[in-house]
Structure 1
Amino acid sequence: MEDNKLGLFSLIALVIGSMIGGGAFSLPADMANGASAGAIIIGWIITGIGMIALAFVYQNLSMKRPDLNGGIYSYAKAGFGDYIGFNSAWGYWLSALLGNVSYLVMMFGAIGYFCPIFGKGNNLVSVIAASIIIWLIQALILKGIKEAAIVNVITTIAKLVPIFIFIIAAIIVFKVNIFTLDFWGNSTPSLGSIMNQVKSTMLVTLWVFIGIEGAVVVSGRAKNRSDIGKATIIGLVGTLIIYVLITVLSLGIMNRVGISKLDTPSMAYVLESAVGKWGAIVINLGLIISLLGATLGWTLLAAEIPYIAAKDGVFPKIFTKENKHGSPANSLLITAILVEISLVLTLFSSGTYQILYSIASSAILIPYLFSALFGLKVEINDKNGKARGLNIIFASIASIYTAWLVYAAGVKYILLVTILYAIGIIPFVISKKEKGQDSKFGLLSYEKVIAMIFLVVGISAFVMLMTGKLAIG
């Protein structure tokens, strides 16, 4: 279905639109809360090196393994087997759909800036309005992936306008003496060492780059295979520049302590301090558009992963159904229902939602790690590949960086993730039984060992969670 394929511009918009959600608009305060200007710059340099290396891994894999159309899921499966592939798809899918709940709550919290009836985004009025958006997006994607991608391009451009206004205004009012004040945080002992400060910044950047894999996830829908890698690199570099400018320029408008105390979205209040009330209005409007676009982009990604995994036989086959426009109908429907349920939970228990989101947001790091490791494996085995030495370096850096991200998330979140993977054993076994592999419960010997570890640790983590020994927050 060639007319439903995505071009380079649509793929770039999907990458940028997936990465720039609500986090970009909160970067000034989030970064300033634990680090000085000097440490922030170091943190961005390290993050930039790690993420660019990962982007090059995706670019190389998109060209060397054109048979793999599911991106990070397919890479994990090809490199480490069905069960690891399933867990990458399972964790990514739940991360994406629960992330959309977060975007919707944040969106109506931002709308509440103009219309107080929406409160902080998790009252009854907000949930009803957000539910309407969920099903409108569902209807849009059902009409065709290309049509939804066009809307995503429009919202991506629209969200960038207020960000560029912020950057231009910040450059004009930037003051070097404010930026260099306590540059290394020496007068603020509570910040700790430079190393601790850098780590705090990287824990923030850990989340704002989620979405870098947008183009490779929908690689099977790209017009040209070469566009996948190009979109990933262009989208990442563009987003990285935007993030660095937002955080660095903010520190030349207000001092670090002042920024760290700002409410969300802190970018709005930084601009308000520089140009007046209209600055906050522009940024809040940009945040609303950004979150709407991110919700659309992540709905596309959330539906695509289980659809592709089901076609490979590692997700239940109910997810394979397409409609006449080539959209993954059942995958979209099941995803939308789970988003709706999670959204309703925010009305009754924000704590329940936080538990679910904390588990899922950490689980998305696992697919990144296995993508990088698979990239390294491919390069090592490709004895005659062009620029093999350089590609091995990129893949090694990406592997080390993504492993560090998993470590940086902390033991608490690793334990929480095992709960998610323990639950995932059920749909994995169902999918294998559907393929006639029920005699071994769908698991090879090494997969049984991994599944048993997930089950034991997952049950233990759940008990700890219920008894208060494992806390969220």
Structure 2
Amino acid sequence: MPAATALVIGSIIGTGVFALPSALAPYGPISLVAFAAVTVGALALAMTFGALSKRTSSSGGPYVYAREAFGEFAGFLNAWSYWITAWAGNAAIVVAWVGYVEVFVNTSHQVGGSVLIALVGLWIPAAVNLTGVRNTGAFQVITTVVKFVPLIFMATIGLLFVDPDNFGPFNASGQSTLGAISAAAAIALFSYLGLEAASVVAGRVREPGRNVPRATVYGTLACAVIYILGTLAVFGTVSHGALGSSTAPFTDAANNIFGGTWAGNTVAVAAIVSGIGALNGWTMLCAEMPYAAARDGLFPAAFARTRGTSGVPIFGIVVSTVLASLITVFSYTRFDDVFTKIVLLSVLTAVIPYLFSAAAQLYWVLVRGRDGLTLGRLVRDVTVAALAMAFSYWSIQGSGYQTVYYGLFVLLLGLPVYVWLKRTRHEGEAPDGPAPAASDNSSGSAAPVLPGPRAPETTPARLSGRRTTVVRFRRSTRRDQH
């Protein structure tokens, strides 16, 4: 469980939280109310993913849950949307990461230098992932430990230096109270993206039915406490006017507490390590989701090709990093508020799989598995899933019309891909039915798994670092198993 928990925490805590106070500053302290509301919704989602991971131990997370509950097309939409979230989210993470790197270099924030630093930040984690799951997991544990130091400091010692005069107007946005909370919540949700990380790589986690739910809930709880207290400390130690224009708010807070620059520089180093760790985990998720979908014929077959005994999905890692690089360059040359623009797009494309996952849990509880539940557990599961679904709808509403427009556009770009995949599969079928599915092999020639009885699937080495190959069968979701 430690590696799975580290993946959850490492994916949730990146550089997003280190840049979040500046992104929330235009709304004022009311954004802390939004943060608290988002935390409740995030915990509901974490419990939902924990429950769903007990129903199937396959990798793929939201993709698998949507496909098993609502069919192939829903599964494809979730895989497509989550894949966009993963590489677009990497772009947002690296933009925030650049702000802390530029504490030491490119201090004038020249666009060309910022873009170069961002590209280096994207491709270092990609190189780590290409070396195999064992190195990726070890790297994740180390960076997770390092990133906690400045956050715990601000969430404890930093609170002793809070000055109420720094907070500014409670609602500085000029919007209504509900409108300000909704808009701030859409940004704050970005800091919790990644809570589903353990479920996405469940097939690589030892004893997933026990470890994935625990890693998901415990990891989210730990992040929630540190997030709220740390953000409160930054709001109270950096003036409202300075916070809105800061590119490294935690560094500024540490400098204000101790004076000089040494404390801020220490925080910046930790934030840099944190960002690399988050990018490392998200780069794995960028490849893992399409890998799972490609095995079922619901993503281009190239994403299912792996290398070596560790089963590294090279194509998914490289393509996702290239796309993240492109959107980063585009954003730096087109937008002033680069971080916020990419954050909102990432949140929207993430909320869609979250919404489907909550709906899948409701479907399984109310339709497929309620005969095996006590009344108390039925009420609890329905309440949590309904809360997660309502929270997802609220997050979409708070993203803003422009973000919903762009998000819907990129989501619908997947329709031609789905049609092409269906056509390819149809042409590959024998006259009397689907062709038998081919298993993966280390040379990378993996054929999509077509609908029908599930064949044994070979899962690459788990996050524990063991380089063995494990054969498992997909768990049935028939009513009699609940």
Task: Tell me the TM-score range normalised by the shorter chain.
Answer: 0.7 to 0.9
* 2:300 alignment partner in structure 1: 316
For 2:319, give the aligned amino acid. I
- Match of 2:38? 47
In structure 2, relative to structure 1, the CA distance for the partners of 1:252 and 1:101 (3 Å cut) is: closer
Check conservation: 2:106, 2:114, Cα contact below 8 A.
no
Q: Is the contact between residue 22 and residue 103 of structure 1 (CA under 8 Å) also seen in structure 2?
A: yes
Deviation at 1:74, TM superposition (A): 1.1
The separation in 1 between residues aligned to 2:307 and 2:278, in whole angstroms, is 24
Q: Is the 2:38–2:185 contact (alpha carbons within 8 Å) kept by the matching residues of 1? A: yes
Counterpart of 1:331 in structure 2: which amino acid? Answer: G
User: Residues 23-172 of structure 1: matches in 2 within 5 Å?
Assistant: 23-36=16-29, 39-66=30-57, 68-116=58-106, 120=109, 122-123=111-112, 125-128=113-116, 130-172=118-160
Q: Which residue number corresponds to residue 432 of structure 1?
A: 422
Aligned residues: 421
Contact 1:35 1:200 (C-alpha < 8 Å) held by counterparts: no
Q: After TM superposition, list the pairs within 5 Å mapping 1:166-245 onto structure 2.
A: 166-174=154-162, 178=165, 185=170, 191=174, 193-225=176-208, 226-245=210-229
Match of 2:348 in 1: 362
- Deviations along 1:96-143, one digit per CA (max 9) or x if unpaired, are 1122233334333422221127x53741x5545554554443332233
Q: Could you tell which deviates more after superposition, 392-401 or 428-437?
A: 428-437
What are the ranges of 5 or more consecutive residues in structure 1 without an aligned counterpart? 1-7, 440-473
Query: 1:236: how far off?
Result: 0.5
Q: CA deviation at 1:34?
A: 1.1
Q: CA RMSD in A?
A: 2.9
- Given candidates 285, 288, 291, the residue that maps to 2:269 is 285
**Could you say if the C-alpha distance between residues 133 and 407 of structure 1 is closer, same or farther in structure 2, counting changes exceeding 3 Å?**
closer
The offset of 1:429, in angstroms, is 1.9
Paired residues of 1:112 and 1:121 also in contact (CA < 8 A): no
Q: CA offset at residue 71 of structure 1?
A: 0.3
In 2, Cα distance between the equivalents of 1:270 and 1:45?
21
Q: How many percent identity over aligned positions?
A: 27
CA drift of 1:151 comes to 0.2
Compared CA separation, residues 189 and 208, structure 1 to 2 (3 A)? closer
C-alpha distance in 1, partners of 2:31/2:99? 28
Q: Which amino acid aligns with 1:253?
A: T
Query: How high is the TM-score relative to the length of structure 1?
Result: 0.80
Return the alpha-carbon distance in structure 2 between the equivalents of residues 215 and 328 of structure 1.
17
Shift of 1:229: 0.6
CA distance in 1, matches of 2:332, 2:180: 36
Residue 20, structure 1, aligned to residue 13, structure 2: yes
Alignment check: 8 A CA contact 2:60 2:292 kept: yes
In structure 1, how many angstroms separate the alpha carbons of the residues matched to 2:22 and 2:95?
20
Q: Does residue 1:333 correspond to 2:318, yes or no?
A: yes
TM-score by length of 2: 0.79
Deviation track 1:300-336 (CA, whole Å, cap 9, x = no partner) reads: 0001011100001111111111111211122223223
Change (3 A) 1:60 1:437: farther
Q: Which moved more, 1:429-438 or 1:276-285?
A: 429-438
CA drift of 1:243 comes to 0.9
Secondary structure, in 3 states, of the residue corresponding to 1:364?
A: helix
Q: CA 1:142–1:62 in structure 2 vs 1: closer, same or farther (change >3 Å)?
A: same
Cα contact 2:182–2:397 (8 A) shared by 1: no
Quickly say closer, same or farther: Cα 1:323–1:189, change in 2 above 3 A: closer
Give SS of 2:266's match. helix
